[in-house]
């Protein structure tokens, strides 16, 4: 997510937070524990997808590079109205 969406990763606190800038505003789009290892659980995937205004399938497509940053921005704009 950091590279694909130019997200900002904040590791300063008890959790790792991910932020994106969109239309001049910052949005928190992810949160993980520092101790997280391996594959993300389903509830983390669904929560992150929701925060990115994506379905679970669309989020997995983003991870697999089927959806790029520009496509995500178009989806975000469409679903923000």
The residue range of the domain holding 30 is 2-79
pLDDT in tens, 61-80: 999 999 999 999 999 999 99
pTM above 0.85, yes or no: no
pLDDT in tens, 9-35: 999 988 989 999 988 999 999 888 877
Domain total in the chain: 1
H or E, element range at 47: helix 42-51
Count Cβ atoms within 10 A of the Cβ of residue 11 and give its class: 0-12 exposed, 13-18 middle, 19 or more buried.
exposed
CA distance 38 to 40: 7
Q: What is the DSSP string of 22-33?
A: ETTEEEEEEEEE
**Closest to 53 (Cα-Cα) out of 65, 67, 64, 39:** 67
């Amino acid at each position: 997510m950091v590279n694909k969406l130019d997200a900002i990763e904040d590791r300063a606190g008890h959790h790792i937070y991910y932020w994106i800038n969109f239309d001049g505003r910052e949005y928190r789009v992810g949160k993980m524990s520092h101790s997280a290892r391996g594959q993300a659980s389903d509830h983390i995937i669904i929560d992150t997808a929701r925060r990115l205004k994506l379905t679970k399938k669309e989020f997995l497509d983003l991870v697999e590079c089927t959806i790029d940053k520009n496509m995500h921005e178009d989806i975000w704009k469409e679903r923000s109205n």
